[in-house]
């Protein structure tokens, strides 16, 4: 049985005051919930502070990105080793915003994936198609390409220590959500692609859905057989919303 994950991606949002009230409320709610981990991914400056607010055994800290290098003359970058020292257990890689706004190619995503694992962290690998790609019938090819780029570089064995997240670009921050059936279709495609390399790895791989997940649709999304939780954006900034989503993950 795969353990659910509900991860909060705060993106470029937050303050110390907000972090204190939000994480304290989530921590109190998550404590004692069975079968689900709540992962909080705040901006880099708040990692240590947020980690210090966590007491529940199923609360984990995550980074929103890392550099594809360990050290050197890379002004403004943050290494996987650095965020590991701050207490992170997870790091997001390949988010569509990083791919689109910062030019992160499949090759860069694969390099970051390996850097994350080398530092002892668990990558949350994001994949997803644009609305244009979906409408042109390119959804499956796009997803398979993004997954295969990492599997080819990292090897199938390293997927055992990873989490995937399907985030349709057309549903991120738009208020549009893939229907449970649409989301399940893509999750099944991802698991099938991994199965081509290893049935055991595919069976144990946790695949999250991200894209306008809210308290009122989380349970139905998470009830799908291949959806193992969510990567949550906007709703993760509201304790009541996020706690309800975590509860939906617990009841899967």
Query: Could you list the active site residues?
Result: 95, 167
Q: Which residues pair with 122 in a beta bridge?
A: 90
What residue ranges in the chain does DSSP mark as E strands?
4-9, 36-41, 59-63, 90-93, 122-127, 163-166, 206-209, 229-232
Q: Are 113 and 153 in contact (CB under 8 A)?
A: yes
Distance CA 249, CA 50 (A): 22
238: part of which helix (H) or strand (E)? none
Q: Which residues pair with 165 in a beta bridge?
A: 126, 208
Q: Are 3 and 39 in contact (CB under 8 A)?
A: no
Comparing C-alpha atoms, which of 37, 33, 36, 44 is closest to residue 10? Answer: 44
Distance CA 46, CA 198 (A): 38
Task: List Cα–Cα distances, 142 to 28, 92, 132, in angstroms.
Answer: 40, 19, 11
Comparing C-alpha atoms, which of 139, 150, 245, 18 is closest to residue 10? Answer: 18
């Amino acid at each position: 049985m795969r353990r659910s994950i509900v991860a909060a991606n705060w993106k470029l949002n937050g303050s110390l005051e907000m972090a204190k009230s939000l994480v304290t409320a989530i921590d109190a709610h998550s404590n004692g919930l069975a079968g689900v981990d709540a992962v909080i991914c705040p901006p880099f400056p708040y990692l240590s502070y947020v980690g210090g607010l966590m007491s529940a055994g199923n609360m984990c800290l995550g980074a929103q990105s890392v550099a594809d290098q360990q050290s050197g003359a890379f002004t403004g970058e943050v290494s996987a080793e650095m965020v590991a020292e701050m207490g992170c257990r997870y790091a997001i890689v390949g988010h569509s915003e990083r791919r689109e706004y910062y030019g992160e190619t499949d090759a860069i995503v694969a390099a970051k994936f390996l850097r994350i694992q080398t530092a002892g962290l668990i990558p949350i690998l994001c994949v997803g198609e644009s609305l244009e790609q979906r409408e042109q019938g390119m959804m499956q090819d796009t997803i398979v390409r993004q997954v295969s780029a990492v599997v080819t570089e990292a090897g199938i064995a390293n997927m055992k220590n990873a989490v995937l997240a399907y985030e349709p670009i057309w549903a991120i921050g738009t208020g549009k959500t893939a229907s449970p059936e649409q989301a399940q279709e893509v999750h099944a495609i991802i698991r099938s692609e991994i199965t081509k390399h290893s049935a055991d790895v595919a069976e144990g791989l946790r695949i999250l859905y991200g894209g306008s997940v809210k308290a009122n649709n989380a349970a139905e999304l998470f009830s799908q057989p291949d959806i193992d939780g969510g990567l949550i954006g906007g709703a993760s900034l509201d304790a009541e919303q996020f706690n309800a989503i975590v509860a939906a993950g617990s009841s899967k």
